[in-house]
Structure 1
C-alpha cells in the first residue's frame, strides 16, 4: 500500500523532470554540447592516466554557411519582407511582426562572438583536463578563415593569452594534397558535397507536409514551402549562436516530434554524405586516425597533445572509419542503408548528426597508462566524441570500455585493410595517401 502511494506521488514529478531541448536536435547547426550517450564518465577510468591525446575539432559556430543561407535563410527572409500576412493575428508566429533577421550575406561563413568564446572555452577545458601534459608546440588548422580563427581562439584559451608559446600551423585546403591534409575530401574526385541530398529530400517532403498545412491554416497569406520550414528550423540554431536565443526554438512553434524529423532529415543526408551510406567515408577519415595513432606512439616526439581544426565533413568520416555510431553494428548483417528509411524516422538509430557534428565538435584518441583492478597493467586507448567516451564495437578489453594496445593495433590493421587505400577509393588518382603533418 505504501509502495503504491509512493508511485502515485512520484510519477508526475519524474514526468516533469525532462525538458526537450531543440538545440540538441539541430544537426550540424547545434551549438556545442556533450551528449552523454552512453553516460560513461569522461574522466580517465580508475587506475588510468592519459599520457598523450590527439584531437580533431570542427570550427566554432558561424553566422551561416553559404548553402544554408542561399537555399533556405535568404529566400525565407525575403518572403517575410514582401508578405502581406498580418503576423499579429497568428498564434505561434506572432513574433514575426517585429522580428529582424540576425544574418545577411556579409556574415556568411564568419564566426560569431558565441563561437569565438566557445572555442576559447574549449581551450581552457583541455588545458585543465590535460594539465599534466606538455603545452603543445604546435596546433594545426586548415586555411579557411573560420578554422584559423577557431584555432587562434582555442590557443588563447589554452595558454591564458600567451599565444606565442604555441605555433599555429596552417595546412592548405588543396585538391592536390590528397590525404595529406585536414580536408582530404577536397582531393577526392569521388566525393560530392551534394551526395545524400536526394535521399534527405525524400523525407523532407514527408515530414514538412503536415507542418505546412498547420502553418498555412494559421497564416493563410504566406505561402509556406518545404524550404521555408527548413529555414525556420535552421534559424533556431543560427540565431541562437548569434544572439544567444531564438523565437524559432519556442515549443509553441514546432513540436518535439517535428524537431526529431528535422534532425532525421539531416541525419539521412550526413549518413550518405560522410557516413556509412558510402564506403568512401571511412577511407576519407582513416588517414587522420592512422596519423594520430602513429604520433601518439612516436617516442621520439616531445609533443604530447595534438589538436587540429577542420570543417564539418571530416569528423563524421573519422567516426565512420572507427566503426562508431553504426546503426547495424550488432545485427550481424551488412544492410546499413536499410537502417535509414526515407519515409519514417528510425528513432532507435545510433547515427545522430546532432551528437556527431555540432559546432566545435571534437573527436579525440587518448593513449593511457593503466594499472586498474581486474585488468593487465599497460597501455590502453579510448575514443572521445565531444568529451563523451565512445567504446569501440570490436575493441573494448580495457577499463572504462578502452582498448588494449595490442588489440587496438590489431583493430586498426583490420580497418586499414578495409579502408586504407585512399587513392583507390577516390578514383585511382595519384595523390598522397597518408597524413604526415604530425610527423616529428
Structure 2
C-alpha cells in the first residue's frame, strides 16, 4: 500500500549511492526523445498498448479448430488519471513544483538552455481523477472488447457495431451486470468503457443524452463502496488492515527511494548544469521530472519534461515502479496473495456456477449471494478496479511466470525480466479470462492468431463443444497457465487449460494466502529493504517475520 506521508527512506533519494556493477552493457547513454519508446517505460502509468499475443512466452497463440470463446471475464483497470498523493507519486511531483514556484518568487535568477521553459512553467495538474485522455482510452477498450468478444459471444449480425439488448426475435436478453468501485476514476472508467462497448455513437437514430448507455436499460450496475466500510474485492486493500501499516504495506516504496540515486546520479548532475545558483537539483527532483513527463502526457498529451533522460534512465524509472508493486502487492509482500484472493474466489464461483454465501476474505457475500448482483452464466463479466488488484490476483493464483523479483541494485535492469508493469498494468490494463468450448478434449494447437469473423468459422459448433477450457490474456498477451504452481495446467503450448484442471490448480490458493493472519495478525517485518521474496504470504516462524509480543493498541 503506497503511503501518503514521507517515509524516512525518502531522505536517501538525495544521497549518493555506491556504484552498482551491471551485467548488461550500458549502450543506451544518449538522450532519447521518441515518446513512443519513452511512454512504454512508465510502469503502471504507461500509455496503454496491446501486448503481442506471445509476449509472455506462449508459443502457439491461435485458437484451435473446433473451438470458440463462449464467455469472457475482464478485470479492467482505470485509465489515465492525475497523480495521487502517494509519497513516490504525486507527492514528489507537487513538492518539485512547489520548490520551483517558491524559488521563482524569491529569486530573479533563471534556468538556462533546455531548462529555460521552467522560467515560465506553472504546474497544471489536479489530483487522482480520470483525465480526458483516460476517458478516451476506456472508450476505446470498450469498443475493443465488443470487437474481440461481444461479436462472438452474442453471435452478432454482419455490420453490427455494438451490443443489442434484444434477441433477433424481439425478446429481451438477460442484462449484463457491470461492477465498479465508488471511487471517481473507477466509476468514470466504467462509464466510458460502457459507452464504447454498448455502442451509442453508432445508433441509426442518435441519442445525445446517452442515458441508456451509462445505466438502466442495457445493463445493471453494482457500485461497491471504497474506503473500508465493507468488503470489496475490487479494492481489496480496504479489507486487509495490515496493508496500511508502515513497514508492511510500503515495502516497495522504501525500495524505490533506495534505488533512485543508483540510477539518477548522472541525470541530476546533467540537469544541474542548467540550473541557476541557489537552486539545487536533488535526485528526488529529477525523479519528479520523470513523473511529470508521464502524467502530463496522460493529461494533455504533451510535456516539456521528457527529453532529458537516456534509455537506461527510463529503464531505471520503470524498475522503480516494478519494485514498488512487486514488494507492495505481489510475491514480495506478505499480504500479496491475501489482497488478490477475493477476486480469484469470485472468478472460480462464476466458472463453476456457484454463489458465495459466506465470505472468508475480501469477498462481499451480500453481493455474491444473489442473481441480481452476481448472476451466473452471463456471456461476459466486466469488473472495474485498480492496477494493484491485478498484480495481487496473479500472485494469489500462483502464476509463477511473474515470480521474478525486480533487482533492487542492478542498473540498467535486466530487459528480459518477467515482472514489468508496462506490460502488466498500464493505464487501461486488463486481465481477461476466456472460457473456450471445444469439440475435442485435446484440440491441436494453432501457432498463429486468426481473426474470428463469426463463431463457426473454424469448425466450432455450440452443440458439440462439450469440452471446456480456460485461457487468460493480460492486455492481449496470452498468459502461460502451464506456469501455475502444482502443474495442473501443464501439457499444452497454447496457454489453454482444461476448465476442471484450472479449477483444481486453485485448490490451495486460499490456504496459501493465509488471509486472516496476513491481514489481521500481529506481526512485523525484520528488514524492510532486503528484497526478500515472501511468496506473497506470511505464517508463524517464517524467515524475516517477527511475531509481535507487545499488545496491540486495541488491547491497551
User: Same-fold call, TM > 0.5?
Assistant: yes
Pairing 1:370–2:389 present: no
Distance 1:93 1:160, change over 3 A: same
TM-superposed CA distance for 1:239, in Å, is: 0.7
Q: Secondary structure at the match of 1:183?
A: helix
Distance 1:48 1:86, change over 3 A: farther
**1:357-408 CA distance string (max 9 Å, x none):** 2111111111111246437972111111112111121424346221112321
Aligned match of 1:292: 347
Q: So what's the TM-score if we normalise by structure 1? A: 0.82
TM-superposed CA distance for 1:275, in Å, is: 1.1
Aligned match of 1:75: 95
Distance 1:80 1:391, change over 3 A: same
Equivalent of 2:255 in 189, 196, 199: 199
- Partners of 2:240 and 2:338 within 8 A in 1: no
- Partners of 2:233 and 2:342 within 8 A in 1: no
Aligned match of 1:142: 181
**1:29-67 CA distance string (max 9 Å, x none):** 112122332376876454421111211111121122122
Aligned pairs for 1:389-404 within 5 A:
389-392=478-481, 393-394=483-484, 395-398=489-492, 400-404=494-498
TM-superposed CA distance for 1:268, in Å, is: 1.3
Aligned pairs for 1:86-105 within 5 A:
86-87=110-111, 89-90=112-113, 92-103=114-125
Aligned partners of 2:239, 2:501: CA distance in 1, in Å?
32
Distance 1:325 1:417, change over 3 A: closer
Gaps spanning 5+ residues in structure 1: where?
1-17, 329-335, 430-440
Aligned partners of 2:35, 2:135: CA distance in 1, in Å?
28
**1:108-152 CA distance string (max 9 Å, x none):** 111111111111111111111111325652100011111111101
Pairing 1:218–2:288 present: no
TM-superposed CA distance for 1:259, in Å, is: 0.4
Equivalent of 1:313 in 381, 388, 391: 388
TM-superposed CA distance for 1:220, in Å, is: 4.6
Distance 1:261 1:362, change over 3 A: same
Aligned match of 1:183: 235
TM-superposed CA distance for 1:176, in Å, is: 5.1
Q: Secondary structure at the match of 1:238?
A: helix
Pairing 1:425–2:518 present: yes
Q: Secondary structure at the match of 2:339?
A: helix
Equivalent of 2:417 in 349, 367, 372: 349
Aligned partners of 1:80, 1:294: CA distance in 2, in Å?
53
- Partners of 2:44 and 2:425 within 8 A in 1: yes
Q: Secondary structure at the match of 2:398?
A: coil
Aligned match of 2:331: 276
Aligned partners of 1:73, 1:211: CA distance in 2, in Å?
17
More off after superposition, 260-269 vs 189-198: 189-198
Aligned match of 2:37: 21
Aligned partners of 2:238, 2:409: CA distance in 1, in Å?
28
Q: Secondary structure at the match of 1:21?
A: helix
| RMSD (Å), alpha carbons | 2.7
Aligned partners of 1:416, 1:39: CA distance in 2, in Å?
27
Aligned pairs for 1:50-129 within 5 A:
50-67=69-86, 70-81=90-101, 82-83=103-104, 84-87=108-111, 89-90=112-113, 92-103=114-125, 107-129=126-148
Distance 1:115 1:20, change over 3 A: closer
- Partners of 1:69 and 1:108 within 8 A in 2: no
- Partners of 1:276 and 1:326 within 8 A in 2: no
TM-superposed CA distance for 1:262, in Å, is: 0.8
Aligned pairs for 1:167-178 within 5 A:
167-175=220-228, 177-178=230-231
TM-superposed CA distance for 1:277, in Å, is: 0.5
TM-superposed CA distance for 1:322, in Å, is: 2.6
TM-superposed CA distance for 1:260, in Å, is: 0.5
More helix by share: 1
Q: So what's the TM-score if we normalise by structure 2? A: 0.65
- Partners of 2:47 and 2:298 within 8 A in 1: yes
Aligned match of 2:284: 227
Aligned match of 1:160: 199
Distance 1:47 1:397, change over 3 A: farther
TM-superposed CA distance for 1:274, in Å, is: 0.6
Matched length: 395
Aligned match of 2:21: none
Aligned partners of 2:177, 2:506: CA distance in 1, in Å?
26
Distance 1:402 1:257, change over 3 A: same
